[in-house]
Structure 1
Amino acid sequence: MKANFLMISMALLLTFGCKNKSESELETSTEETEIITTKPSLKGTWELVGFYNYKDDVVVDSFSNNTISRQIKMYTDSKVMWCKLLKTDSIEFFGYGSYTYDDGHLTESLDFGSSFMNEVIKEQHEFNFELELSENRFEQIELDEDGHKIYSENYKRIE
């Protein structure tokens, strides 16, 4: 008798315990497990690590920056500032302005800079690049008038 009672109880438990989820429960479950991906951001501090030269949109030469000088770029939510340490002149080469980026394009609009850069800014204050951005690296690529890659500055995130 006890064995029959246990068997019936187990059968009922399995029957009611294994009910199918309703469609709305399945949708809720699917929504809760959806993975949210964030797109990489330029916000932070970056160091120039090297350059690529292109021919026919293919890298034909690359070289490191570590023996030439040191260049740092800092991006906030809307502002950019970069500085380059030259062994011959410790106050030359910096620029400050605003930037936008989206969909593989970076635009920097410089307001002012070092003596040399102010002369450049008088002629051209907006600089447009193709942008290849990942979490800890980016390449700002200069294009010619036909849209072909010429060279890139390659940065790594340092903060």
Structure 2
Amino acid sequence: MKKLIGLVFLMLILVAATTSSSSKLQTTPSIEGTWELVDFYNFDEEGNVTDTVPTADGYRQIKMFYNGKIMWTRYVPTDSVEWFGYGSYKTTDSTLTEKLEYMSASIRKIAPEFLEWNMELDLKQDYYTQIFIDEEGNRISSENYKRLDK
């Protein structure tokens, strides 16, 4: 009987440890998935948000991050110009780097062959902000996204 109680106790400890470690893994946010732009922030000289600019009616910008690759598209109902791109991305706890390898003709006209952005990243489970920084490290503006898939 003591062996049975000991075995049950050991199983409970193992189940609790497994549940605890798997819930920790689930709480670590990942940028992998599909995201939609919801609004923009502008920053002042001290790095504080000065205003929030919502997207216009009908405007949609979607980003997809999977296995180190990014694809994004933008639809603006009042604009016939196509905006999309494909490339690679890397993240750290606080940075996002996107490098476009393929892009629409409208972007190609204004961009070098390979376009790279290095941004500050604030990543949560269902929301992320990519913050654009100037040459001196000051925050300029941000794009703020919500997760579309889980």
TM range (shorter): 0.7 to 0.9
Task: In structure 1, list runs of 5 or more residues that go unmatched.
Answer: 1-15
| Runs of 4+ residues deviating >4 angstroms | none
Instruction: Output the aligned Cα RMSD.
Output: 2.3
Counterparts of 1:125 and 1:48 in 2: how far apart (Å)? 20
Q: In structure 2, what is the equivalent of residue 122 of structure 1? A: 112
- Counterpart of 2:73 in structure 1 is 83
Aligned position for 2:37: 48
| Counterpart residue number, 1:32 | 17
| Alignment match, 2:121 | 131
Superposed CA offset, 1:33-75 (max 9, x none): 7833232111111000000000111001111114262111111
Query: In structure 1, the residue corresponding to 2:106 is in which secondary structure?
Result: helix
Query: After superposition, what is the alpha-carbon deviation per residue over 1:64-122, rounded to whole angstroms, capped at 9, x for unaligned?
Result: 11426211111111110110002244551111100000120000010011112113441
Partner of 2:48: 58
Q: Closer, same or farther in 2 for the Cα pair 1:65/1:33, shift >3 Å?
A: same
Following the alignment from structure 2 to structure 1, what is the Cα–Cα distance between the partners of residues 33 and 83?
Answer: 20
The answer for unaligned runs of 5 or more in structure 2 is none
1:69–1:86 CA contact under 8 A, matched in 2: yes
Provide the TM-score with structure 2 as the length reference.
Answer: 0.79
Name the % identity. Answer: 42
Max Rg structure: 1
Partner of 1:117, secondary structure, is helix
8 Å contact kept, 1:49–1:66: no
